[in-house]
């Protein structure tokens, strides 16, 4: 697939950023999301919030809709017009019988549809479908796009290659036959909806180059324009630190472990690494919410693994400052790991699986321990735990690169410029997405509504 004009080359955004130029005119952008992303207690929420805020910070008007409460939105990000969807989501039981995957079916309420209809009475320069779960709104947005608002740009903000994630979930599924059947059925629904959304929009954004290649591969020449928008970092950078013999022999894992795939990754690593760490005098700190059942099961067998639960930013910084390394042991799940940014800006040397390092340039990975499996990753951590010169060199060089690579304001400018470019092409009579023109009819789009 040819690279669209102005799109970053593979890993190009890590070595040279485009000039920070705002579009000549402010854009009006409607952002359809699954939830109001505050409190920002999950990676997907952080990404949605900061990308929308950086887009507004680039001089655009952004109206962001989702379930939840706007009361938790911090005052400093009120430059985004946050709108909460009234009512509650549909039940997951009802979602099983929907043609849509679970994430989309539970959100496709009559209240959200009415709210969307109200918003579409206005003129929008772009409409963002945030994640595949907003695919329930695709047909209505296409009808709007191919009606009177032909200059409107449809954008899909992808958080992952979801079909691949769900294939992993099906492969690793445990439990009853009915549960595995439901998972497999939902995986098929996810694949179908994700593909349809990706091929129907004008602009596809992905977090990694790998996701972009996987999502557009089935479309060949009919693929939409695609840009990679890796996350930025919005927190505070840790002060300069030096790891020495006085630094506790600890390693840390940070995350939220409510998703089944993250639980499975944690379980596998703790069961394998805890006895190895115990034999070598290394403590493993798990920082973040872990479901009680999993925590109890792991604690009953663990010797040197400590569970700290959810902690404040200050407590997290303190715990990371007492660690010689931070670990990303996620073998299944895919996507960019936001915890990597916490580690990089916390000045903690990183040990990660290669599968979990997607989205990081090779030059940055060169300053980390990167291994292909849990056994070799654990062995490498043990081998380097007392190599102070190596650890300090890794964390300093990685931090130096990261602080120029992961800036949210750059992402907002990139996205704003990409939308403006497509609008200019369309106004000049170019840029109609061929896949949509061949398959979409406005006369049928409004009929493809999910039964209430």
pLDDT of residue 95: 80
Contact present, 164 and 63 (Cβ < 8 Å): no
The neighbour count for residue 390, using CB atoms within 10 Å, is: 14
pLDDT single digits (tens) 147-161: 877 889 999 999 988
pLDDT single digits (tens) 293-314: 999 999 999 999 999 988 888 8
Domains in the chain, number: 2
Same domain for 327 and 261? yes
pLDDT single digits (tens) 178-202: 878 888 898 899 999 999 999 999 9
pLDDT single digits (tens) 233-280: 988 899 999 999 999 999 999 988 887 788 889 999 999 999 999 999
Stronger pLDDT, 295 or 14, i.e. the higher one: 295
Q: Chain-wide mean pLDDT for the chain? A: 86
* CATH assignment of the domain containing 305: 3.40.50.2000
Contact present, 363 and 215 (Cβ < 8 Å): no
Strand partners, 225: 203
Residue 428 belongs to some domain of the structure:
no
pLDDT of residue 432: 53
Mean pLDDT of 104-131: 96
Q: How far apart are CA 344 and CA 355, in angstroms?
A: 18
Same domain for 278 and 362? yes
Contact present, 196 and 188 (Cβ < 8 Å): no
Same domain for 284 and 360? yes
Strand extents, DSSP E, 263-389: 283-287, 305-309, 325-328, 350-353, 369-371
pLDDT at 3 over 90: no
39 prior amide bond cis, ω within 30: yes
Residue 448 belongs to some domain of the structure:
no
pLDDT single digits (tens) 58-82: 999 999 999 999 999 999 998 999 9
Q: What percent of the chain has pLDDT over 70?
A: 89
pLDDT of residue 160: 87
With vertex at residue 329, the alpha carbon angle to CA 328 and CA 333, rounded to the nearest 5 degrees, is 95
What is the span of the domain harbouring residue 392?
Answer: 250-406
Same domain for 254 and 216? no
pLDDT single digits (tens) 21-43: 444 479 999 999 999 999 988 88
Same domain for 292 and 162? no
pLDDT at 173 over 80: no
Mean pLDDT of 410-435: 81
Mean pLDDT of 388-406: 94
Q: Which of 99, 114, 263 minimizes the C-alpha distance to 189? A: 99
**Residue 375: which H helix or E strand, with range?**
helix 374-384
Q: Which of 422, 74, 449, 429 minimizes the C-alpha distance to 225? A: 422
């Amino acid at each position: 697939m040819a690279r669209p004009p102005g799109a970053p080359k593979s890993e190009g955004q890590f070595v040279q950023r485009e000039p920070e130029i705002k579009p000549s005119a402010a854009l009006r952008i409607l952002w359809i999301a699954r939830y109001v992303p505050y409190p920002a207690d999950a990676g997907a929420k952080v990404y949605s919030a900061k990308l929308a805020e950086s887009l507004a910070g680039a001089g655009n008007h952004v109206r962001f809709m989702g379930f939840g409460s706007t009361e938790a939105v911090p005052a400093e990000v009120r430059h985004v017009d946050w709108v909460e969807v009234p009512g509650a989501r549909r039940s997951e039981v009802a979602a099983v019988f929907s043609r849509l995957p679970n994430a989309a079916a539970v959100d496709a309420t009559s209240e959200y549809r009415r709210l969307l209809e109200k918003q579409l009475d206005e003129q929008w320069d772009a409409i963002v479908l945030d994640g595949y779960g907003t695919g329930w709104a695709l047909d209505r947005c296409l009808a709007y796009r191919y009606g009177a608002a032909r200059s409107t740009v449809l954008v899909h903000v992808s958080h992952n290659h979801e079909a691949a994630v769900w294939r992993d979930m099906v492969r690793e599924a445990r439990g009853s036959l009915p549960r595995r059947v439901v998972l497999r059925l939902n995986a098929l629904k996810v694949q179908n909806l994700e593909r349809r959304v990706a091929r129907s929009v004008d602009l596809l954004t992905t977090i990694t180059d790998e996701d972009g290649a996987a999502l557009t591969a089935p479309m060949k020449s009919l693929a939409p324009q695609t840009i990679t928008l890796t996350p930025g970092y919005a927190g505070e950078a840790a002060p300069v630190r030096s790891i020495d013999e006085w630094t506790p022999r600890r390693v840390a894992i940070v995350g939220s472990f409510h998703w089944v795939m993250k639980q499975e990754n944690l379980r596998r690593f703790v069961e394998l690494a805890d006895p190895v760490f115990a034999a070598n005098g290394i403590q493993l700190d798990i920082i973040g919410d872990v479901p009680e059942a999993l925590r109890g099961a792991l604690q009953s067998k663990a010797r040197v693994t400590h569970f700290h639960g959810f902690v404040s930013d200050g407590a997290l910084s303190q715990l990371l400052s007492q660690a010689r390394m931070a670990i990303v042991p996620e073998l299944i799940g895919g996507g960019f790991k936001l915890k990597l940014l916490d580690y990089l800006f916390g000045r903690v040397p990183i040990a990660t699986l290669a599968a979990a390092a997607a989205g990081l340039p090779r030059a940055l990975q060169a300053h980390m321990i990167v291994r292909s499996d849990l056994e070799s990753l654990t062995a490498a951590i043990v081998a380097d735990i007392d190599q102070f010169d190596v650890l300090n060199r890794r964390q300093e060089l990685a931090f130096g690169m990261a602080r120029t690579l992961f800036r949210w304001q750059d992402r907002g400018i990139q996205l704003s410029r990409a939308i403006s470019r497509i609008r200019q092409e369309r106004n000049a009579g170019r840029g109609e997405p061929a896949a949509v023109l061949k398959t979409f009819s406005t006369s049928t789009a409004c009929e493809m509504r999910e039964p209430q």
